[in-house]
Structure 1
Amino acid sequence: MTFFRDNGLSITLTIFTAATIAGMIFAGANAFNQEAIMHGEPTVTVASYLATGHFLSALFENWESEFLQMAAYVCLTAFLYQRGSAESKDPDVSSTDVDEDPRMKKTDPKAPWAVRQGQMIRTLYSYSLGIVLAGLFVLSFVFHLRASAAAGNIEAMRHGEPPIDLWTRLADAEFWFECFQNWQSEFLSTLLLVLLSIFLRFRGSPESKPVAAPYGATGK
């Protein structure tokens, strides 16, 4: 039971992720087959649907925007402030008071392995969260582009048009519309979280300030 208590948040989010992806698969396969029937094309099985551009484009389009949001959030909050927000460091507190120099812990046996290595590895580890999230964004963007081109070629075939390559799809306004419609919502939701946490509370959440904390108090 200790395992589930200590990992309840990640377990629950994993279940939610799997459940919503499953819902997306079955709903998407149904929508794809309805479109195929309208055009006199054969339907596909759920397993076959997983390899279609229709599914993969939608999947990576959303993953891409989420990784962009998280990468931007992690990196921007390291350098920028919002007084009163639970999501910001206190502008009146030195950054060294928030996160001490990792070199001070390089001989600590309990410190992460990378902290106890040389300067290059320690520096990379110091920014590894932002680096990995940015890398996941780039990968998702590439996969979204490839799948979007595949989905676009199905539509082109239906209308008797020639197929397009990746570079043509990259320059296509429809592709960028797919990107921006998700990116804007991620930045908006992050902005609202930053601002609403100044005035609103959720008792017990580490994303909220204490209920009685004044509006001007910054940080958790």
Structure 2
Amino acid sequence: MRRFLRDNGLSVTLFALFLVSLIGQALTGWRAHVEELRLHELPATGFLEYLTSGHFISAVFENWESEFLQMAAYVLLTVFLFQKGSSESKKPDEDNPEDETPENRRNDPNAPWPVHRGGLLLKLYSHSLSLVLVALFVLSFWLHLTGSTRRANEEALQHHQPMKTMAEMLTEPEFWYESFQNWQSEFLSIGVLLVLGIYLRERGSPESKPVAAPHAETGH
């Protein structure tokens, strides 16, 4: 177990922080939602009921959507765009190992099994990271839309107003406001990290260039 935690400490810590944050969001969101219902003189919902409410589902997947969009866009854009001086960019004037033809390592026993199989499977595996990230974005977007529609209909029911379909919700400025307010912050944060990494350092982090590396040095 100690060896496992040492070798996987980063992912274990991040997923633990995610779980703690999600529980915190659920508990505080539930309390805030109960308070909102109380102000409107409506009956409170239980915690488990709240977890299936539009209020919670919309808020969770609104954020997941933007995160997966950011990662998918970054993975795809770094295939053909460069940022000189960034450790996150390929080198613009040299051959990069990321562009290596996978068939050249078909006889490597340590290569992933799709490399040995070749053909369509290898083509899919060659783009599997972006495909999965895009799929996660689409799924999160759909769940955000589902949650927002449910939340709007819950509020409509409380105020005796007509219900909305998911197609109608797609035309609502409020829905797109929720998406764009997260998208813009994600693209800003990754752009800031990209540029700051050219001139600033964090000793010991693989996300930073070595402290003594020149500003113009690009790539790992």
TM-score exceeds 0.5? yes
Specify the alignment match of 1:54 in structure 2: 55
Kept after mapping to 2: 8 A contact 1:107/1:116: yes
Kept after mapping to 2: 8 A contact 1:53/1:147: yes
In structure 1, C-alpha distance between the alignment counterparts of 2:52 and 2:98, rounded to whole Å: 46
1:63-212 correspondence runs (5 A): 63-95=64-96, 97-212=97-212
In structure 2, C-alpha distance between the alignment counterparts of 1:98 and 1:76, rounded to whole Å: 14
In structure 2, C-alpha distance between the alignment counterparts of 1:158 and 1:86, rounded to whole Å: 53
Task: List structure 1 segments (4+ residues) > 6 angstroms apart after TM superposition.
Answer: none
In structure 1, C-alpha distance between the alignment counterparts of 2:118 and 2:64, rounded to whole Å: 34
Kept after mapping to 1: 8 A contact 2:103/2:118: no
- Per-residue displacement from partner, 1:74-104 (whole Å, max 9, x unpaired)? 1111110000111111101124x44421001
Specify the alignment match of 2:17 in structure 1: 16
In structure 2, C-alpha distance between the alignment counterparts of 1:115 and 1:80, rounded to whole Å: 26
- Residue 214 of structure 1 and its aligned partner are, at CA, apart by 0.8
**What letter corresponds to residue 111 of structure 1 in structure 2?**
A
- Residue 165 of structure 1 and its aligned partner are, at CA, apart by 0.3
- Residue 105 of structure 1 and its aligned partner are, at CA, apart by 1.5
Could you tell me which runs of 5 or more consecutive residues in structure 1 were left unpaired when the two chains were aligned. none
- Residue 38 of structure 1 and its aligned partner are, at CA, apart by 1.3
In structure 2, C-alpha distance between the alignment counterparts of 1:206 and 1:69, rounded to whole Å: 20
Kept after mapping to 1: 8 A contact 2:29/2:56: yes
Aligned CA RMSD, in angstroms, stands at: 1.0
Tell me the secondary structure at the aligned position of residue 210 of structure 2.
coil
User: Percent of aligned positions with the same letter in both sequences?
Assistant: 52
Specify the alignment match of 1:43 in structure 2: 44
In structure 1, C-alpha distance between the alignment counterparts of 2:58 and 2:115, rounded to whole Å: 38
In structure 2, C-alpha distance between the alignment counterparts of 1:8 and 1:23, rounded to whole Å: 22
Kept after mapping to 2: 8 A contact 1:39/1:158: no
In structure 2, C-alpha distance between the alignment counterparts of 1:154 and 1:45, rounded to whole Å: 15
**What letter corresponds to residue 7 of structure 2 in structure 1?**
D
Between stretches 114-123 and 55-64, larger displacement belongs to 114-123
Query: Normalising by structure 2, what TM-score?
Result: 0.97
In structure 2, C-alpha distance between the alignment counterparts of 1:69 and 1:60, rounded to whole Å: 14
In structure 2, C-alpha distance between the alignment counterparts of 1:92 and 1:205, rounded to whole Å: 25
- Per-residue displacement from partner, 1:140-195 (whole Å, max 9, x unpaired)? 00011011000111222233310100000011111000100000000000100110
Could you tell me which runs of 5 or more consecutive residues in structure 2 were left unpaired when the two chains were aligned. none
